[in-house]
Every structure is written in C-alpha cells, then in structure tokens.
Chains A and B, each alone.
Chain A
Amino acid sequence: DTGVSQDPRHKITKRGQNVTFRCDPISEHNRLYWYRQTLGQGPEFLTYFQNEAQLEKSRLLSDRFSAERPKGSFSTLEIQRTEQGDSAMYLCASRRGQAKETQYFGPGTRLLVL
C-alpha cells in the first residue's frame, strides 16, 4: 500500500474563489471519507462514498461544497465561493468495505482563505 495521498498539500486563495482538492485512496479501498479539521478541534465528518456512490453527507456540507468519486477511485472536493470560515485542514480517509477494517488517513490539504 502506498497510502492515501492528497493534492495539493497547501492552498491559499482569495475569498470568493473556487478551489478543488483531490484524494487518492489506497487501492482496493472502496470506502472514502472527507473530514474537515479546524485549529484546536478534532476532525468533523463531511461526506463519504462507497465506490462511486455518495452514501452520506453531513449538514456541515453546505451547497457550496460538492464531492465526487466518478469512477470509484480518486475523489474530488470542490468548494465554491470560498469564505474565510472555510479555512481548515481537509482530510481524506479510506478503508476496505469489510467489517472491522480501519480508516487510513491522508496528510490533508490545508486551505487558507484570505
């Protein structure tokens, strides 16, 4: 396993701009999760996929946020019209679908909205 990778690792943008993040899960992991972590807090769930199907979305995921996993492999998280409150670390995790499997986390994308 090469691990979960995320790109970019850092992103600085101006308020109102759109940003897109990518997550590449561990191969053969059919479940993929997005979390958001702000300073001094634990990660908060945003959304997750089983293969290409988006199974659950948090109420934190406003209509400015959209996530896709078109072929059941990598996933993208887009934030439209960014706001300063969107500044956070965005974490991706993946796992196999079987019971008792562990979620493996990527290094995260740190977003700063100016």
Chain B
Amino acid sequence: AQTVTQSQPEMSVQEAETVTLSCTYDTSESDYYLFWYKQPPSRQMILVIRQEAYKQQNATENRFSVNFQKAAKSFSLKISDSQLGDAAMYFCACSRNSGNTPLVFGKGTRLSVIA
C-alpha cells in the first residue's frame, strides 16, 4: 500500500517570495509517479507538476519545481515568485507504475498568499 503525508496543514507566503511545501511518501513499488495538484477554492483540481520516480532530475514547470529525494522518500514543491493566484489547497499524490492506477493523496496544505 502507498501512503502520502503532508505535515503542513497551512502555509503562508508574501507575494513575490518563495515557499516550499513538504511531502513524504511510502511505497513498496519500484516504479511509481509523484504529483502535486492544486485545488483553488470552489474550483476543480489541476495538475501542477509530476515526477517519474526513475528520473533523477527534478521536474520544473515555470515557477514550480520539486525537490525529489528518492532515498528519503521526500517530494517537496517549491513555488517561486508567488502570486495571488497561487492561493489554494495543494495535494501531493502518488500512483503505481505508469500512472494508470489510482492516485493516493495526502491531506493537503492550504497556501495563503499575502499581498
């Protein structure tokens, strides 16, 4: 079974600053995928960034990047130059194999952006 733990229920960041959201996971699979999803208030969940476990290079998507530490089973999300529109719930998730299998989510971190 896979588990995902997000230890920060809430975080806040000043506009234009950088914030890091933490995530740890546990899995017995050798092949798995990791994701960060964003869920704005009353809006649907969208993918922020994904990481294949077999890749050593950390994924980046514009202002979003991850720090993937496979041995430590850690997968943190860094948001640079934070914007007001980044305010949302952020969920870390894991799936087995090629990503076809269901996602296992953490409990989420609520990010507030202060103007």
Contact = CB atoms under 8 A, between A and B. Distances in A.
Interface string B1-18: 000101000000000000
Q: Is the interface of B mostly helix, strand, loop or mixed?
A: loop
Contact of B102 (A33, A106, A107): A33
B44 A105 contact: yes
Contacts, number: 59
Given A100-B52, A102-B50, A108-B44, A42 B100 contact: no
A67 interface: no
B46 interface: yes
Interface in A24-40: 31, 33, 35, 40
B84 interface: no
A42 B46 contact: no
Interface residues of B, number: 24
Given A42-B91, A100-B52, A108-B44, A48 B107 contact: no
A103 interface: yes
Given A107-B43, A107-B44, A43 B103 contact: yes
Q: Is the interface of A mostly helix, strand, loop or mixed?
A: loop
Interface of B: 4, 6, 33, 37, 43-47, 50, 52, 91, 93, 98-108
Interface of A: 4, 31, 33, 35, 40-45, 48, 56, 58, 91, 93, 95, 97, 99-108
